[in-house]
Structure 1
Amino acid sequence: MPSAAQIMGEPIQLYDQTALLEMDLAKAQGYAILLQGSAEAPRPGGKLSKQSELLAFSALTDGNVIDACFGTLNSKEASEQAQRKVKDVKRILSDGVEQRSFPSVAVQAYAGAFRVVLKYQTAANKLNFLTRCFFYNGIKKTAIQELAESFAELQKAIAALASS
């Protein structure tokens, strides 16, 4: 069942950029490894096995990966709105499991997002007091743009799913 945003043709919020960018470096690395077997970007043509891909997709739909992307891992502190968004995203992703390439696109999107977080955190952690004043906003702006790019294919796949 498509959501109101899908019916209106609006992109679905698949993550909270603040929650993602503020994520602990070790957690982001763990999620990247969970989704793709490594914290590094996959080599060109390097694909997960079908079994690994389904396991990674299950981590999205049934695990706490999406919760982490919305900052709702600690449910006592999470807003009801964020928890509702997590449930909506998990439902939307679950609806696409039968589509041929949908699980792969979803896994690639979230794995890419965690790679962006790793890159952002690494760059931000290298800044000192003085350089932070000059370079932090540029690093953050680039990370926000890269997050959006990471989810572009998944947004298209969700739109196609909603129209079918």
Structure 2
Amino acid sequence: MKKCGKQGHSSAGLRRSFLILILISHGLKLCLSYDEEFCRESRTTVSRVSTCPNTKSRWEEQALRKSCSSIPHNCSGALSYHCLINPWQNTTIEVCAPQAKIKLGYCAEYNSVGGRIQDFYQKSCRSCVSDYLSTEAYKHDECYKAVYDRFTINRGTEMTSPSSQIWIYYHSILLFSMTSGLL
């Protein structure tokens, strides 16, 4: 009969695996804390919406309602209203974050892990013929199309959120590492 220690799953091995996971987690937090574009406070302002404003006047109405300028923060720029896609293109979100310059040919996205507005490189934008500010995303309705199409197709079905996808990813790596004796 084999003992637990001989199978490579000793309590010392599990402690070492746990320690490595903690170090990786703290390393990620350390990297984000030195990133001047990271805006921790923006992450608390995220809310899912079914559609984004597609005119300047509707954008301004929503901006007044969200009242981003009243939120205390330590971000590199003033918090401005945004309504953007997320990196998975499965929802549109309203968020208060510093505006960003988006390169021509790309849509703007909000990355909740990075706490920032950034270029969305997975899909090109034909109407984005020059660089633009992320607070002008309403001018590029095609950027929301993939989300709206997916929402119409998946109406009534539950989608996995990005945060749960990340949780599943980390646990999968940990489980694989432990079972294959890498840790």
Question: Structures share a fold, TM > 0.5?
Answer: no
Which structure would you say has the larger RCO, counting Cα contacts within 8 Å and 6 or more residues apart? 1
- Between Structure 1 and Structure 2, the one with more helix by share is 1
- Between Structure 1 and Structure 2, the one with more strand by share is 2
TM-score by length of 1: 0.28
